[in-house]
Structure 1
């Protein structure tokens, strides 16, 4: 069952919010993400209310000033609570900080709630900001019979579907479908999927289709009703998980590329089913006897500062 929500402290008043559209495709679409300068005034109940009030699925709270070591603290929230990581939220935070810096190029280290340091960089391209960051190590394993038995029927997929469990912050299912048409036709039982993800302690399910002709990108849809997001417009961390999986299976770079040399990973289209096209890019740098380094990124547009009003009750 879903964990109980914390009681509201009754905080009220206007909260300045910067809306960032993260992971645009050709300068349009992307995932609207609320970015708030974190002054420590809001409690977690108030933070949970910001996404819906801002017209976003996620909100990222960015430390008002860098910490002693130079990193900037970030916290990610949906309506259901806090997340240890959020890929498109990281793109949004990096774009927001680049706007604050006002420079053509900017490097920034973020610190997530679990203490992980996220190294990112941005480049301004007119009104747009291209951001990328080190996603961190991805753990991959075969799903259990129980996991497949609960998740695949809820997704409407056969039990023979190709699937992996990938962990980056939190575990999630990666499931391949036969084609883009099959991906577009998916109509999961969201209530059953939400319960299954709660029972299995999973973030959600990332379904994807491989290209069918040269030059075509991967396509994906991410269903995460257990965290209050029936379908995500853009999920960069799950795309990083896909890149790690393709590298481990020998799909990238024609096999086993030389350690230390970056290999172009999949570029993945998302958001089409929601009317907001998004694209996420990846690269993979193989290590020697260690997990590969996956970098993930996207283009962002900072649309300006507004306010979300928290009301009592």
Structure 2
């Protein structure tokens, strides 16, 4: 029997944001069993927490309904928030070092913690690498978009995120995606973004049938690279904190703050911050 917690991530309001299932003590579960539990939960991701093996405070494995990911933003961020909110011994002095398939990811927590809510958490993300996306034309066709306002580039920090810029929030909300065509883009999440009128506030939608996610309500692993993408192409100052609002069209609004810095042509730091709220807990009889 294993306990689990459901949290809504990138929000401080229950039943908004991006839901996540966390199994805080997963010792004894095989990879196959974890995959079946993730399929049973049927959320975009389910995480499983183990004792550390590489110098961190905890080790986390991440499963979508169709496979395991080495790293993803919403599940790692949400897991850290759950562990902080429930008093996990790995959280010490308001900090946590989480072992993932992309290395050790540090978190810090500030403000009040209690009542199922961590008011503010900050996450230092793996540094992404990027390149032009060689199937950009096919991607635009699958999204039903004629062109992108910025070059279509794909960033990898665990998942692969392709970024397609639209001219307005109205265009973003009106998207009608061909999910079958998009599923032919292996190991890829399609992230569409648009300006809001405030240069530091952006709207986003993410579609990834390749990762078993029709549409995602809040994509933490994409928010950091989006800040970098916008900064590299002169849409926001590098080093500025942007706000990414996602999940609006799904009725699950999420808010993520992201910041990226570069020096000498190299990325120095990519970080995101936000909130999460616990909404349920239970037991798995497996």
TM-score normalised to the size of structure 1? 0.81
Cα pair distance change 1:273/1:27, threshold 3 Å: same
Superposition pairs for residues 134-153 of structure 1, below 5 Å?
Answer: 134-144=124-134, 147-153=135-141
For this pair of structures, how many residues does the alignment match?
280
Determine if contact 1:177/1:207 at 8 Å carries over to the other structure. Answer: yes
Summarize deviations over 1:165-218 as a string: whole Å, max 9, x none.
1121132210001111110110100011001x12xxx32100000122467x21
Question: Which of 195, 198, 206 is the equivalent residue of 2:191?
Answer: 206
1:44 lines up with 2:31 in the alignment: yes
Q: Which has the larger radius of gyration?
A: 1
CA distance, structure 1, for counterparts of residue 65 and residue 148 of structure 2 = 34
Match of 1:6 in 2: none
Gaps of 5+ in 1: 1-13, 257-262
Give the C-alpha shift of residue 251 in structure 1.
3.0
Determine if contact 1:105/1:123 at 8 Å carries over to the other structure. Answer: no
More helix by share: 1
CA distance, structure 1, for counterparts of residue 62 and residue 276 of structure 2 = 17
Q: State the SS of the aligned residue for 1:24.
A: coil
Superposition pairs for residues 177-256 of structure 1, below 5 Å?
Answer: 177-195=166-184, 197-198=185-186, 202-213=187-198, 217-253=201-237
Match of 1:168 in 2: 157
Match of 2:11 in 1: 24
Match of 1:88 in 2: 74
Cα pair distance change 1:155/1:161, threshold 3 Å: farther
Match of 1:290 in 2: 266
Determine if contact 1:28/1:277 at 8 Å carries over to the other structure. Answer: no
Summarize deviations over 1:111-155 as a string: whole Å, max 9, x none.
1124x11011122435321211111212222222xx112211001
Match of 1:158 in 2: 146
Gaps of 5+ in 2: none
CA distance, structure 2, for counterparts of residue 47 and residue 101 of structure 1 = 24
Aligned-CA RMSD value: 2.3
